[in-house]
Chains A and B, each alone.
Chain A
Amino acid sequence: MEETTQGSSRLLNGFAETVSPAGERVAQTATEAKIEAIGFNFYYGTFQALRNINIRIPQNRVTAIIGPSGCGKSTFLRAINRMHDRTPGARGEGQLLLGGANIYGEIDPVKLRRRVGMVFQRPNPFVKSIYENVAYGLRVQGVRDRRVIDEKVELALNRAALWDEVKDRLHKASGTALSGGQQQRLCIARAIAVDPEVVLMDEPCSALDPIATMKIEDLIHKLRANFTIVIVTHNMQQAMRVSDMTAFMLMDSATRAGELIEFSPTAELFTNPKDQRTKDYVTGRFG
């Protein structure tokens, strides 16, 4: 037991070593990163929102992105499944790789989003039955076989820890009739029903009460067995509770561009930060 923990910690440290404030890649680990940014920049028109992001997000781990408002953490998260495509003038430059292929260039956006699911800040179920909410993504992706859909809906609701609460009213109740926490778990079920490789979560608990938040956090912990999870959160305690790795981002005060300050295993980032700015932030001195 002790040995596995150490092994895992060493592995995670390997990821952290690849990032330095100067953005140089210091070391390479043998393990594949699920998502990798190499000198990634992001612009809204002429405004640079992200500068020189270098990060290697490990597979089947929970990676939290923290930082004060405006630091670009949501921008980065949404860059991973190209949610910015609808925004005129938004564009990514440099390399942002999913399984080694460049998200901006090599991968078709629609196919990309089938591999990278997303859970939003506010629970946003469709005004449809619970079953249809979960089945929707499958239908969009062309699954027609009723049995396959039934199975996947049940699996997804089970994984989202919602099955027992809704199994009796799958077709009768609307997704919008559930409580806020249940709605968010329904949205998670909807996102994972289509078997994505990565699940992005943009402050998924910010609209929920503490008990619902706790349930979602438990769920996130369990989900990493099957998915790579990247979560943006304002709540440092939440990052400590749910994540294996934590990235700290900060807005450069002169250019207002978001930068990655530090990326380490969560325990290390919070107890023994390398950068003074990280230390100031996690000890609550600003932000």
Chain B
Amino acid sequence: MAGAKAQTTTNFRERLAQRTQHGDSIFWAVTLFFALAVIALVVAIGWVTWNDSALARERFGIGFFASSEWNPVETEVSPESFGAVPAIVGTLISSLIALILAAPIAVGIGIFLAELCPLSLRTPLSFMVELLAAIPSVIYGVWGVMVFAPFFTQHVAMPLSESMREIIPWLSSSQVAAGRGLLIAGIILAIMILPTIAAITRDVLTLVPNTQREVLLALGATKWEVIWLAVVPYARAGIVGGVMLGLGRALGETMAATMLVGNRPQVPGSLLEPATTAAALIASELINAQSLLHESALVLIALTLFVITLLLNLIARLLIWFVNRGPVGSVRA
């Protein structure tokens, strides 16, 4: 009786062992497949944009990235001609404006939410920040066009343009009344990326171990010192990561940029006159491209934006690696 029972137990154990012997390798293969799918996707995007831009690459070569010409309509005096400079300049400047405006404020919001906010306010405020991140960009665009652009043009851009005419030419323009340009697009982009950076900053700060705060607190540090000497340095890699994610969103943001940047494919002489960004240019022109060459040039712009994004991510990685190093000769425990 007892022997029989022992026998069934052994059988059960053996069967279970048999049934699960390949479990880990199957799991490994499945996750490997998903991981490789990501790489395949990146390669596929690169491949498609590379192939579909062949016409433009052959026609303009490396000169594409040095030319500010953008003339999709062939006439007798001016032939069809495309260059990437307006799109690259517009993309970089509008994203830079967004980053400069949003990063300090967003990090401040994150610090407040994680370190200083009374508990009763933390949940509702965090919720609002996340809600802000979830609003579709077209709504920001609509708000920008209907509310912000008229207000900004009337009360800020026009007086600014007037007073800066002789002093800083790139803050002054005769086309300021159009209410479109890199500055206004940059400000809207800043509002859009603010919640992303703030939410990530808050999350990485709450992950900082309490001992980091306590050790400084026990040395007689104030809240200010605890935050700036212990908490933020510990989390700086994550904060830089959040800022870079925000930058990525600003670079690729299409809808709001298209609605507010003015869609004029020229290098603007001023932040206050209509310009374009890479994403806005593609979105506004691809559907009614005039010719195969035009379409191919737009795909080449897409490839350029893709490469810029990759490069900036690479720089961000290097930056994180760099700030994460300890003092010279140290081994990080």
Contact = CB atoms under 8 A, between A and B. Distances in A.
Interface of A: 81, 83, 86, 88, 110-111, 113-114, 116-118, 120, 122, 124, 126-129, 132, 136-137, 140-141, 172-174, 176-177, 187, 190-191, 194
A182 to B, nearest CB: 12
B332 A127 contact: yes
B331 A113 contact: no
A13 B284 CA distance: 88
Max chain B Cβ within 10 angstroms of own Cβ: one of A116, A122, A127, A194: A127
B232 to A, nearest CB: 14
Max chain A Cβ within 10 angstroms of own Cβ: one of B213, B217, B220: B220
A88 B215 CA distance: 19
A194 B215 contact: no
Nearest to B218: A118
Given A83-B214, A88-B119, A129 B219 contact: no
A81 B212 CA distance: 16
A152 to B, nearest CB: 13
B20 interface: no
Contacts of B211: 120, 122, 124
Nearest to B326: A127
Interface stretch (B28-36, B154-162, B179-187, B221-229): B221-229
B326 A140 contact: no
By Cβ-Cβ distance, the 10 closest A-B pairs, closest first, are A174-B330, A114-B220, A118-B218, A176-B333, A137-B219, A127-B326, A113-B220, A177-B331, A88-B119, A172-B329
23 contacts: A83-B218, A86-B210, A88-B119, A111-B220, A113-B221, A114-B219, A116-B218, A117-B218, A120-B215, A122-B211, A124-B212, A127-B327, A127-B330, A129-B330, A137-B220, A140-B229, A172-B328, A174-B326, A177-B331, A187-B215, A191-B219, A194-B219, A194-B220
Nearest to B209: A124
Given A124-B212, A127-B332, A174 B218 contact: no
Contacts of B145: none
Given A140-B229, A174-B331, A176-B332, A83 B217 contact: yes
A113 B218 contact: yes
B327 A128 contact: yes
Contact of B221 (A122, A140, A176): A140
Interface residues of B, number: 24
Interface in B81-135: 119
A127 B215 CA distance: 13
B220 A177 contact: no
B333 A140 contact: no
A218 to B, nearest CB: 23
A88 B222 CA distance: 18
Interface in B201-256: 210-222, 225, 229
Contacts of A124: 211-212, 215
Contacts of B219: 113-114, 117, 136-137, 140-141, 190-191, 194
A191 B218 contact: yes
Contacts of A177: 329-331, 333
Nearest to B213: A86
Which DSSP category, helix, strand, loop or mixed, fits chain B's interface? loop
B5 to A, nearest CB: 39
Contacts of B229: 140
A126 B209 CA distance: 13
Contacts of A113: 217-221
Contacts of A136: 216, 219
Contacts of B212: 124
A116 B332 CA distance: 29
A88 B122 CA distance: 12
Given A120-B211, A127-B326, A128-B326, A140 B331 contact: no
A81 B330 contact: no
Contacts of A122: 211
Interface in B308-333: 326-333
B220 A176 contact: no
B329 A174 contact: yes
A177 B327 CA distance: 11
Given A86-B213, A120-B211, A122-B211, A176 B218 contact: no
A110 B330 contact: no
B213 to A, nearest CB: 7
Contacts of B326: 127-128, 174, 176
Contacts of A173: 329-330
Contacts of B332: 127, 174, 176
Nearest to A180: B333
Max chain B Cβ within 10 angstroms of own Cβ: one of A86, A117, A132: A86
Nearest to A83: B214
A120 B214 contact: yes
B223 to A, nearest CB: 9
Contacts of B333: 127, 176-177
